């Protein structure tokens, strides 16, 4: 056999070089992590399952996931990306990790633009996942994750921590919300992470909790003051100039089939989680946490929303654990722990002589501990509309000041003008409400002009616990209904039947 020619030798060297270059390029891609795709064990069939249903909570901070089958390798001649430019998501990608879009996750650098970029990419892909990975803390300013041109079924996966800025410059003259999800279809927020509203810097500008017209009845046995002071404001440039308008931490607006599950929302400047003009809301297995004296920090706030399910959650805050406002119907709440806070409230309704409509509300299997009120309906004088078809059942109370309340004279300031018109209240059922109270077991204060009717009480067992406050007997004014069983204590003030002089309901009352 003859020796190989020089040309043959050169060809062999070139082929060997190309093979080596190809393998080296693939190894570089595999090591680059954030900037390029990589295949994970167990990826086969992932996209098929995602296309059928929304992704469940992810336990890892992996990056882009792709459809089943072997991934195509990038050719050696593919141009390298600029090191500081966010990657363009691959065609079949479903997961958009905020780290891939420039987020640092150190809790100090502003990651708002990275979140905006990740959302813009996820918005274009049906059933996509915007991932906020665990073990990182992301400082994010006010931002709107909005449609209506986004694809349906987006999951906002929160496994890390999102924290609000404490610098007043980030809030301008004041905003109504921090994280807004607007005009979306089948949007889900889920995960094991935390959304922290940094509320303490806002609360310091409000040293006292706003008054409630039940407050004068809370008289400590030692006659000490009830006004709760917040810690003195920190004299820093960051905290002394916050806007007077406080934002809600997470707000959904005009969305269809919105779900929130798994996450913790804490220390919101105002409401923690709000749904406005939404249809098909599901909230479950979440935790809300803020101090009991943090002002106006409702846990879950519903307004103009219907077909709502809230269950299996723990809510502790400085105001209503759940607040149900005008325009809400078909709301079912069960298996919720509430406290501290102001219990579960319908209202306040009818302020500024407005029409308010709330109907078909069920609250069941709820535990309340150390709350101001238990289950409450509160309306302003001068309003119109109606509250009807309400069921409160199987409520367990521990050291609740006012377990059962209907108040058609609600007022959150020192004095309010007397007015004859009112939001009508009828068809309210209380069943199996038991536990201990510390001030007054039942408070029914209804309008002379439009009394509360069809108030039904069954198996009410409330025992006094005189440790801190003066105690009162049950109170009823212009309240009509029936006692289906004996109650503890006896609620003798309830007037049986219906008022003889009750005027017929008019368009003023109906909804």
- Please give the C-alpha separations between residue 279 and each of 26, 193, 329, in angstroms, as whole numbers: 48, 26, 10
Query: Of 335, 331, 299, 337, whose CA–CA distance to 318 is shortest?
Result: 299
Query: Is there a cis peptide before residue 50, judged by omega within 30 degrees of 0?
Result: no
**99/83 Cα distance (integer angstroms):** 13
The SS3 of residue 119 is helix
Distance, in Å, from the CA atom of 285 to the CA atom of 261, rounded to the nearest integer, reads: 5
Residue 508: partners with Cβ closer than 8 Å, 6 or more residues away: 384, 421
User: Within 10 Å of residue 377's Cβ, how many Cβ atoms?
Assistant: 27
What's the rounded Cα separation, in Å, for the pair 382 and 379?
A: 9
- The residue whose two tokens read 């780290």 is 99
The two structure tokens encoding residue 449: 């002009």
Q: Verify whether residue 342 is a known catalytic residue.
A: yes
Q: Which residues pair with 180 in a beta bridge?
A: 144, 251
Give the end-to-end CA distance of the chain in Å, rounded to a whole number. Answer: 102
Note whether 175 and 247 are within 8 A (CB).
Answer: yes
Token pair recorded at residue 485? 């069983």
Give the largest Cα separation in the chain, rounded.
123
Distance (Å, whole) CA 408 – CA 450: 10
Percent helix, percent strand, percent coil in the chain, to nearest 5: 15, 40, 50
DSSP string over 435-496 = EEESS-SEEEE--SSS-EEEEEEEEEEEEE--SSB-----EEESEEEEESS--BS--TTSEE
Q: Please identify which of the residues 63, 65, 66, 342 carries the catalytic annotation.
A: 342
Give the per-residue SS3 of 77-114.
CCCCCCCCCCCCCCCCCCEEEHHHHCCCCEEEEECHHH
Question: Catalytic amino acids?
Answer: 342
């Amino acid at each position: 056999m003859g020796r190989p020619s020089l040309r043959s030798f050169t060809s062999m060297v070139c082929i060997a070089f190309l093979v080596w270059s190809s393998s080296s390029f693939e190894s570089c891609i595999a090591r680059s992590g954030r900037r390029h795709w990589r295949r994970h064990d167990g990826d086969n069939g992932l996209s098929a399952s995602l296309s059928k249903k929304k992704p469940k909570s992810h336990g890892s901070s992996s990056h882009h996931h792709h459809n089943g089958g072997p991934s195509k390798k990038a050719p050696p001649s593919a141009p390298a990306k600029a090191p500081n430019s966010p990657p363009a998501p691959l065609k079949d990608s479903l997961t958009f990790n905020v780290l891939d879009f420039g987020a640092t996750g150190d809790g100090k650098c502003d990651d708002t633009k990275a979140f905006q970029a990740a959302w813009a990419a996820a918005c274009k892909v049906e059933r996509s996942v915007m991932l906020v990975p665990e073990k990182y803390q992301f400082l994010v300013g006010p931002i709107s994750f909005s449609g209506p041109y986004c694809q349906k079924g987006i999951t906002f996966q929160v496994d890390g921590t999102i924290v609000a800025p404490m610098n007043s410059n980030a809030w301008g003259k004041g905003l109504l919300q921090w994280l807004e999800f607007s005009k979306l279809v089948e949007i889900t927020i889920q995960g094991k992470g935390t959304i922290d509203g940094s509320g303490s810097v806002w609360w310091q500008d409000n040293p006292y909790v706003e008054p409630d017209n039940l407050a004068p009845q809370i008289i400590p046995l030692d006659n000490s003051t009830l006004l709760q002071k917040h810690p003195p404001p920190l004299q820093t440039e960051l905290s002394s100039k916050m806007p007077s308008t406080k934002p809600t931490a997470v707000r959904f607006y005009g969305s269809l089939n919105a779900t929130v599950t798994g996450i913790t929302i804490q220390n919101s400047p105002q409401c923690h989680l709000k749904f406005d003009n939404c249809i098909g809301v599901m909230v479950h297995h979440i935790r809300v946490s803020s101090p009991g004296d943090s002002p106006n920090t409702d846990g879950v706030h519903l307004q103009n929303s219907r077909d709502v399910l809230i269950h299996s959650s723990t809510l502790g805050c400085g105001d209503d654990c759940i607040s149900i406002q005008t325009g809400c119907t078909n709301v079912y709440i069960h298996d919720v722990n509430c406290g501290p806070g102001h219990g579960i409230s319908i209202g306040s309704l009818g302020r500024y002589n407005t029409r308010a409509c709330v109907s078909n509300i069920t609250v069941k299997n709820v535990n309340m501990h150390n709350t101001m009120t238990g289950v409450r309906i509160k309306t302003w004088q001068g309003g119109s509309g109606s509250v009807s078809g309400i069921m409160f059942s199987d409520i367990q109370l521990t050291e609740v000041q006012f377990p059962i309340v209907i108040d058609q004279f609600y007022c959150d300031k020192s004095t309010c003008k007397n007015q004859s018109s009112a939001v009508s209240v009828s068809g309210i059922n209380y069943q199996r409400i038991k536990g201990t109270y510390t001030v007054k077991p039942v408070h029914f204060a209804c309008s002379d002009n439009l009394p509360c009717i069809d108030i039904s009480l069954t198996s009410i067992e409330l025992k006094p616990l005189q440790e801190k406050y003066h105690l009162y007997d049950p109170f009823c004014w212009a309240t009509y209904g029936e006692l289906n069983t004996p109650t503890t204590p006896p609620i003798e003030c309830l007037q049986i039947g219906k008022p003889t002089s009750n005027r017929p309901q008019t368009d003023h009352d109906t909804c």
